Structure 1
Amino acid sequence: MSNLIRRDPFNELLRGFFIRPVDFATSDDLEGPKMRVDIEEDAAAYRVHAELPGMKKEDIHVHIDGPVVSINAERKQEKEVKEGERVLRTERYFGTVSRSFQLGQDIDEGGASAKFNDGVLELTLPKKAPVQTRKLSID
């Protein structure tokens, strides 16, 4: 009856902590990477810079609908394992990322241009000329 065993749950929890790496995944890590964008404006156009590292330009799609711009990109997994090799850890993200945002004015789709260089998508989106209101004279 006097054989009480004293346990320290905190010590038992940390016993293997410094031996094995522990990965504390956050909710952002589980969702995948986010597309970072910078948007600039001048009198004639909007300029958008979107970071898409590791993407191929063939896998990036931009859609313009009035003032709404949508960017979609997909990174496909290229799995190449050689004989005798084994993968110990994979941290690179494979899948799709997308981003939509609304600008203050409609975009002239015909004059819009896009460049992709060093993992950065650069969009030049000219503003559509505002529609002039017209006053009708009554005869």
Structure 2
Amino acid sequence: MNQVTRWDPFENLFKDFRGLVLQPVDLAGNPDVPALKVDVKEDKDAYTVHADLPGVAKDDIHVNIEGAVVSISAEKKRTVENKEGERVLRSERHYGKVSRSFQLGQDIDEAKAQARFADGVLELTLPKKVAASSRKLTIQ
């Protein structure tokens, strides 16, 4: 028995468009640069963030905390060494700026926050701010 398949001319158009629009883009607009990938974990006292930043120097990483919003930005600088008689056939290593911001469920205690960078991975330990206790006012 033959099966009838319905052809939708817009199905592939949408898939192609979605692939173009949803690609990661760095701040310089280069769609080939991978996005800043992060893992965020939570326990009762703090959040732990791991961000992959391979090839980035520690001095070129900036972390900003405002309440519950964490912003990470980094810049990988291009180093070019051209030797006489040498030509580049292909260059796939990326350089440029990348940034990422995300909001956590609770405000961060900026004074106790810690950051470490080793082997291309940024690790942030972000203690949760102790919630101020509320009190009920009596009306006189």
Which TM-score applies when normalising by structure 2?
0.77
Q: For 1:69, give the aligned amino acid.
A: V
Could you tell me which residue of structure 2 aligns to residue 131 of structure 1?
A: 132
Distance in structure 1 (CA, Å) of the matches to 2:101 and 2:115? 16
Look up the match of 2:121. 120
Alignment partner, residue 79 of structure 1: 80
Tell me, in whole angstroms, the C-alpha distance in 2 between the residues paired with 1:52 and 1:60: 9
Shift of 1:132: 1.0
Secondary structure of 2:106 counterpart: coil
Which residue of the partner structure matches residue 101 of structure 2?
Answer: 100
SS at match of 1:80: coil
Output one character per residue of 1:10-29: Cα deviation in whole Å (capped at 9) or x when no partner.
xxxxxxxxxxxxxxxx7437
Mapping for residues 7-18 of structure 1, pairs under 5 Å: none
Structure 1, residues 80-101: CA drift from partner, whole Å, max 9, x if none?
1011111111111110111110
Q: Distance in 2 between matches of 1:136 and 1:73?
A: 47
Question: Following TM superposition, by how much is the alpha carbon of 1:138 offset from its aligned partner in structure 2, in angstroms?
Answer: 3.3
1:58 match: secondary structure? helix
Alignment RMSD (CA, Å): 1.4
Aligned residues: 114
Structure of larger gyration radius: 1
Once the two structures are superposed, residues 22-47 of structure 1 have per-residue CA deviations (whole angstroms, 9 ceiling, x without a partner) of: xxxx7437522111111000000000
* Cα displacement (A) at 1:105: 0.1
- TM, length-normalised to structure 1: 0.78
User: Identity over aligned residues, as a percent?
Assistant: 61
Gaps of 5+ in 1: 1-25
Amino acid in the other structure paired with 2:95:
F
Q: Which runs of 5+ in 2 are unaligned?
A: 1-18, 25-29
